[in-house]
Structure 1
Amino acid sequence: MAFHEVRFPANLSFGSVGGPERRTEVVQLSNGFEERNTPWSQSRRRYDAGVSLRSLDDIGALIAFFEARQGQLNGFRWKDWADYKSCTASATPAYADQLIGIGDGLRAEYQLVKSYASGSQAQSRDISKPVAGTVRIGLQGDELQEGVHFTVDVATGIVTFASPPAVDERVTAGFEFDVPVRFDTDGIQVSVASFQAGDVPQVPVVEVRL
């Protein structure tokens, strides 16, 4: 599958319904207890782009984007308005938001990650589609300068340092990011009369693994 480094129009994704889902296998035992397992180490996100359409022009933009991606064939970027920053929704990304690694004096490449914590539990999520120009990097509490101390591959989320961080130096990051997705349908059915009456088409979108 090819991936197009283009974002679904943000004004059309605003108001969409969706979020993370997990796959949990639950086995009911004869004694009344349960065994629960999951084959997924990471959650997968799903959205419905149809509910955010507000005008016939929006439908036209959606169809043009759908055709350019050839339906399910090619992936694209999606802005999840509920979760697109390394910090809280009301804050501005800062270079110390997320710990992405500890230096060992040898490694120069680090993957951007975001940690989701609640109580003593935390889940780490690789961020592969940062937004260009938003990535800030810190090293041992000091902010670095992009293009001088490091570079960012916005297609993979990998940060490359000009010189490997020293042993035990904390590497931190702040950023905005998109979700890599594809359409989860090869057809969009629209009735202008129904749309004007308030019935919007369903346009499922699903996260892809890269």
Structure 2
Amino acid sequence: MTFHEIRFPTTIAFHSTGGPERKTEIVTLGSGFEERNGVWLHSRRRYDVGYGIKTLDDIHAVIAFFEARAGRLYGFRFKDFADFKSCAPQTAATPRDQTLGTGDGTTKSFALKKTYASGPTGWTRAIVKPVAGTVRVAVGGVETSAFALDATTGVVTLTTAPATGAAVTAGFEFDVPVRFDTDALAINLAGFRTGEIPSIPLVEIRV
């Protein structure tokens, strides 16, 4: 197993920096025009949580977490405070936030996802690490509790298959699957009861 279902300490994660990353190849033609090609279909998030280290106890917690993950070997959960809900961070999630699919009278399982829309375009992100106890589901606009959630994959399975044409929607909180992007921690003991780890890079992984 290369992923541990455990969350990085949120008190430290709250002070992190980082966000989504894309990979685009750009060729500038002799005329000055550009040809641009999106290499990645999906974005990948990177973070640095070093700024969240404030005390020796914080350092101790990170060392323990780092050693238990064997550096870069095992993935884990990370709460991105800028983007951790099916809606905006300061808005309460509702069971109608995100559309998961449409009923066909047979299908019972639907994968959680979040769509980021701006103007006429958008991008849909698979949500594979939802937070248990936060997922709310609606079928045809009516909330239901008749479902089971696999919190390790983000798949919701309804007890009864939705009728043909019925919209299946959901609201939820989620974590980002990440790993350490270093096999070494550079610890600086700046004071008697304080210290720092200037950089602790994390990178999103596919699971």
Q: Is the 8 A contact 2:149 2:155 kept in 1?
A: yes
> Which residue in the other structure is 2:116 paired with?
116
TM-score by length of 1: 0.95
Q: For 1:200 and 1:13, how far apart are their aligned partners in 2? A: 13
Q: For 1:81 and 1:195, how far apart are their aligned partners in 2? A: 31
Question: Residue by residue, what CA displacement relative to the aligned partner does 1:69-98 show, whole Å, maximum 9, x if unpaired?
Answer: 000000000000000010111111110011
Q: Is the 8 A contact 2:8 2:65 kept in 1?
A: yes
Q: 1:143 to 1:195 in 2, by over 3 A?
A: farther
> Which residue in the other structure is 1:155 paired with?
152
Residue 199 of structure 2 is aligned to residue 176 of structure 1? no
Residue 93 of structure 2 is aligned to residue 84 of structure 1? no
Q: Is the 8 A contact 2:180 2:203 kept in 1?
A: yes
Q: CA deviation at 1:125?
A: 0.3
> Which residue in the other structure is 1:95 paired with?
95
Q: Is the 8 A contact 1:194 1:200 kept in 2?
A: no
Query: What is the alpha-carbon root mean square deviation over aligned residues?
Result: 1.5
> Which residue in the other structure is 1:64 paired with?
64
> Which residue in the other structure is 1:14 paired with?
14
Q: 1:169 to 1:55 in 2, by over 3 A?
A: same
Q: CA deviation at 1:195?
A: 9.7
Q: CA deviation at 1:193?
A: 2.4
- Number of positions where the alignment pairs a residue of Structure 1 with one of Structure 2: 207
Q: Which amino acid is 2:179 matched to?
A: R
Alignment of 1:22-37 (within 5 A): 22-37=22-37
TM-score by length of 2: 0.96
> Which residue in the other structure is 2:200 paired with?
203
Question: Residue by residue, what CA displacement relative to the aligned partner does 1:133-192 show, whole Å, maximum 9, x if unpaired?
Answer: 0000000010001xxx21010000001111211111000000000000000000001120
Q: 1:103 to 1:40 in 2, by over 3 A?
A: same
> Which residue in the other structure is 1:140 paired with?
140
Q: For 1:37 and 1:107, how far apart are their aligned partners in 2? A: 36
Q: For 1:195 and 1:18, how far apart are their aligned partners in 2? A: 30
Greater mean alpha carbon deviation, residues 84-93 or residues 60-69: 84-93
Counting aligned pairs with the same residue, the percent is 54
Q: For 1:199 and 1:9, how far apart are their aligned partners in 2? A: 16
User: Structure 2: any 5+ residue segments left out of the alignment?
Assistant: none
**What's the secondary structure of 2:190's corresponding residue?**
helix
> Which residue in the other structure is 1:165 paired with?
162
Q: For 1:30 and 1:195, how far apart are their aligned partners in 2? A: 60
**What's the secondary structure of 2:88's corresponding residue?**
coil
User: Structure 1: any 5+ residue segments left out of the alignment?
Assistant: none
Question: Residue by residue, what CA displacement relative to the aligned partner does 1:35-69 show, whole Å, maximum 9, x if unpaired?
Answer: 11112111000000111111111010000000000
Q: For 1:28 and 1:195, how far apart are their aligned partners in 2? A: 54
